[in-house]
Amino acid sequence: MTVRLTVAQALVRFLAAQHTERDGQRQRLIAGCWGIFGHGNVAGVGQALLQAAETGEADLKYYLARNEQAMVHASVGFARMRNRLQTFACTASIGPGSTNMVTGAALATINRIPVLLLPSDFFATRAASPVLQELEDPRSYDVSVNDAFRPVSRFWDRISRPEQLPSALLAAMRVLTDPAETGAVTLALPQDVQAEAHDWPEDLFTERIWYLPRPLPEPGALDRAVGVLRSARYPLIVAGGGVIYSEASQALREFAEATGIPVSDTQAGKGALAWDHPLAVGGVGSTGSPVANALAREADVVLGIGTRYSDFTTASRTAFQHPDVRFVNLNIAAFDAGKHAGTAVVADARAGLEALTAALSGYRTDEAYRVRAQELNASWQRVVDEAYHLGHQPLPAQTEILGTLNEFMDERDVVVQAAGSMPGDLQMLWRARDPKQYHVEYGYSCMGYEIAGGLGAKLAAPEREVFVLVGDGSYLMMATEIVTAVAERIKLNIVLVDNRGFGSIGSLSESLGSQRFGTRYRYRNPDTGRLDGGVLPVDLAANAASLGADVIRTRTVKEFAAALEQARASDRTTVIYLETDPLAPVPSSQSWWDVPVSETSALESTQRARAAYAAAKRAQRLYL
């Protein structure tokens, strides 16, 4: 039996029939389709989505975004919240609509989050070439702007013939649902092929289930890992995002309690273990807690679970200073498990932790070690409390805003952030109790992710309040999805933290001897010729109101706290605006981040910074 449909109609029908299953729980894989139409997809995928909605022959709800990059962010926010069991498809027109998604693709792939991208492409027949927005590479007629997706996609294909669609779709679903391989999957769809009819086998559209595996550790690998761990006197766990995606929090807690090994976390892993668990020692690395960083410096064995060991996690390879430190890496991806010459345990985080707990029975860290961790932590928590209640004047400090929000939020609420000075302050200071409470995109740290990603997170968890934290720089890059939130009646609470420029890169610049050059939003000054003139007459609160959000302007921490109550009580997207002091003090993580400073310079500030850089660099252990 065959059915005659266009390529786009077949695609939509196929996507609506895909499911995932893990631990006996089944859900749709592709929850819907984001899109912005242009000549490349309006009559192809656009027509197919319309027909599906009109006839009910396929259930794939369409969502209209305002920027193609944002629709990928929203899909990532959604998929992350759903622990990679579900995601969205994103359709874009050819040319700029498609390349707008490249940044989102990189973000998805780097964070190991599934998203299906459907950029439209030039005519496969080349009948009308060059079509509007076609690249035209004089070296080859086979190259289009969509080739830019290749390095940022875990699977990439161009459907030049209808016959190619079924195998490409199956490969795409396999990669999306493989926790070791997942990331952006790109199927480039030539404009003419989308509208071309073909006789498809009915079987293509039957319901399909993609089972997410929980692979067990191979016995030899488990033995080797246990051997290393049993020899450890000062072990430390680094819990990454894989713990959360695998829903391994309970297994992690039981493992830590059985062995007495302290647990530090990464940006993606925060909340894997509740912050006030006696074995939780906070974030590790460049923006971690001094507690985790002190333990990391002395650790003889580091057990990394579901982490890809980014430079922020390893403090650019300076975090682990024990001369004989060894790594045991439990990871679903062999690529990550092999890092730092580690003893690799390639397995699902939950299954691997359960196996390790059983195999390590009888092993326990010294009480003195655990007590030391707890004492360090107790004094650090006093520093956090102080930062939460600084009373900074005249403008509040950012740490007070984060503290007020932290104390206000329920454990099942979600905080979303991605770029600027907030991810660092959050990693150091945030107290997360629930594994889904802390949603900071720090694989790509992409300015503009916040509102769009928050929209996706709220779509995934409508029962939770979502608090998006966004800096003025990030807001200016992509505030567009406020309009989408308003149109869809998806309620977001957006906290817009205005410090008039780049607080983060400003202080980084200063610490590297570059004097905050180019990091403030100011008029060009006719006297100096630089951007150090007066404050700009920019009103971001008015901007947010113009996009359809309710806006509350606040000036003090007290007003901010009251505004949070008001926002929670409302059923409309609310933006809480406030200004903070970018120069307010922040506690130190007692760590480092490798950002090279000019080796030669005419500026004294740079020369001083270079000397400090050279000294810090000596602690780096490149060949671990």
CB of 473 to ligand TPP, least distance (A): 3
Selection from ligand TPP, Mg ion, none that 48 binds (CB < 5 to 8 A by kind) is none
* Spacing of C-alpha 44 from chain mean position: 31
What HEC string does 213-232 produce? CCCCCCHHHHHHHHHHHHCC
Beta bridge partners of 20: 27, 210
| Structure tokens belonging to residue 519 | 């990091």
The residues in 502-541 that bind ligand TPP, with binding defined as CB under 6 A, are 502-505
CB of 553 to Mg ion, least distance (A): 17
Selection from Mg ion, ligand TPP, none that 445 binds (CB < 5 to 8 A by kind) is ligand TPP
CB of 497 to ligand TPP, least distance (A): 7
Rounded distance between C-alpha atoms, residue 185 and residue 168, angstroms: 10
Residue (205 or 521) nearer to ligand TPP, CB? 521
Query: Judged by CB under 6 A, does residue 445 bind ligand TPP?
Result: yes
Residue (71 or 446) nearer to ligand TPP, CB? 446
Residue (283 or 420) nearer to ligand TPP, CB? 420
The enclosing H or E element of 555 equals none
DSSP3 helix / strand / coil % (the chain, rounded to 5): 40, 20, 40
- From the list 16-24, 274-282, 375-383, 471-479, the region that binds ligand TPP by CB under 6 A is 471-479
DSSP three-state, residue 490: coil
Rounded distance between C-alpha atoms, residue 499 and residue 164, angstroms: 52
The enclosing H or E element of 90 equals strand 87-92
Residue (146 or 519) nearer to Mg ion, CB? 519
Find the binder of ligand TPP among 305, 446, 460, 541 (CB under 6 A): 446
Find the binder of ligand TPP among 354, 441, 472, 481 (CB under 6 A): 472
Q: How far is CA 95 from CA 21, 203, 273, in A?
A: 36, 34, 44
CB of 514 to ligand TPP, least distance (A): 13
One DSSP character per residue, 139-160 reads TBTT--GGGGGGGG-SEEEE--
- From the list 104-112, 239-247, 290-298, 442-450, the region that binds ligand TPP by CB under 6 A is 442-450
CB of 567 to ligand TPP, least distance (A): 20
The residues in 455-484 that bind Mg ion, with binding defined as CB under 5 A, are 471-473
Rounded distance between C-alpha atoms, residue 326 and residue 361, angstroms: 21
Burial of residue 324 (number of CB atoms within 10 Å: 0-12, 13-18, 19+): exposed
Query: Judged by CB under 6 A, does residue 267 bind ligand TPP?
Result: no
- Cβ atoms < 10 Å from Cβ of 617: 14
Rounded distance between C-alpha atoms, residue 162 and residue 197, angstroms: 8
CB of 447 to ligand TPP, least distance (A): 4
| Structure tokens belonging to residue 10 | 């077949």
Burial of residue 481 (number of CB atoms within 10 Å: 0-12, 13-18, 19+): buried
Residue (175 or 446) nearer to ligand TPP, CB? 446
What would the x/- binding string for Mg ion be over residues 490 to 529, using CB under 5 A? ---------x---x--------------------------
Selection from Mg ion, ligand TPP, none that 399 binds (CB < 5 to 8 A by kind) is none
Rounded distance between C-alpha atoms, residue 42 and residue 337, angstroms: 44
Minimal CB distance to Mg ion: which residue?
A: 471
| Residue with the two structure tokens 């004492």 | 375
Rounded distance between C-alpha atoms, residue 361 and residue 232, angstroms: 14
DSSP three-state, residue 222: helix
Find the binder of ligand TPP among 243, 330, 447, 547 (CB under 6 A): 447
How many positions of this chain bind ligand TPP (CB under 6 A)? 17
CB of 76 to ligand TPP, least distance (A): 14
The residues in 404-433 that bind ligand TPP, with binding defined as CB under 6 A, are 419-422
CB of 561 to Mg ion, least distance (A): 21
Binding site residues, ligand TPP, CB under 6 A: 419-422, 445-448, 471-474, 499, 502-505
Binding site residues, Mg ion, CB under 5 A: 471-473, 499, 503
